[in-house]
Amino acid sequence: MLSAGEKTRLLLTKAFLNYPKIILLDEPTASLDVDIAVKVRHFLKRQKQEYSVSMLFTSHNMSEVEEMCDRILVLNKGTVIAQDTPSNLIRLMTDCEIEFFIERDQRKALDLFTKSKIPFRQEQNRFKIPINERAIADFLVLLAKEKVLYEQISINKPDLEDYFLHVIGKEKND
């Protein structure tokens, strides 16, 4: 008796035996362990490159879609609501989040954010600020001007999943 993952790998192997020019893949890594899914994606990329195989790839795993696909169609109730390259779709999302680790200047940071009406979430020494990507430089200048020192900073940019949720949410509201 084969496991779900073994069945998936067997079906993929059978699908590529005749060197197809086009192949339809419906969530090809859904039932696979992480390490095997990585190998399958590598195999699929190699097939695409070496044998010029065109693939129609359906998946709910947006990070996998982003990695595997040259072009994306986003469907909602059978209607195409977006189509482009993964990077172009992600670029449409300009809202991101800055995360700071502030230990010594927490009071200064709280005062500045409150006084300037900057929305933020605080989790102990971590401050998370939603911000438009174009406003990051000005925000960092403001922190420097107010002498708010931080120990660490990261900018969490949107990914394809964020874009998908945005357009589906937008579509539901229209």
Angle at 152 between CA 117 and CA 122, to 5 degrees: 40
pLDDT at 170: 61
List Cβ neighbours of 165 (8 Å cut-off, separation of 6 or more): none
pTM exceeds 0.75: no
Which has the closest alpha carbon to 82: 11, 91, 130?
A: 91
List Cβ neighbours of 43 (8 Å cut-off, separation of 6 or more): 12
List Cβ neighbours of 53 (8 Å cut-off, separation of 6 or more): 16, 19, 20, 21, 22, 23, 47
pLDDT at 31: 82
> 96-146 pLDDT, tens per residue?
999 999 999 999 999 999 999 999 999 999 999 999 999 999 999 999 999
How is residue 7 written in tokens?
């069945």
How is residue 25 written in tokens?
């893949």
pLDDT at 88: 95
For the chain, the first-to-last Cα distance in angstroms comes to: 48
Domains of the chain: 4-90 (3.40.50.300), 94-157 (3.30.70.120)
SS3 state of residue 127: strand
**Centroid of chain to Cα 147:** 33
Residue ranges in the chain whose pLDDT is less than 50: 171-174
Inter-residue contact 68 to 37 (CB < 8 Å): no
Which has the closest alpha carbon to 127: 151, 98, 105, 87?
A: 98
Torsion-angle region of 124 (φ positive above 0: left; ψ -120 to 50: alpha; else: beta): left
Alpha helices in 52-148 (DSSP H): 62-68, 86-91, 106-115, 136-145
List Cβ neighbours of 104 (8 Å cut-off, separation of 6 or more): 149
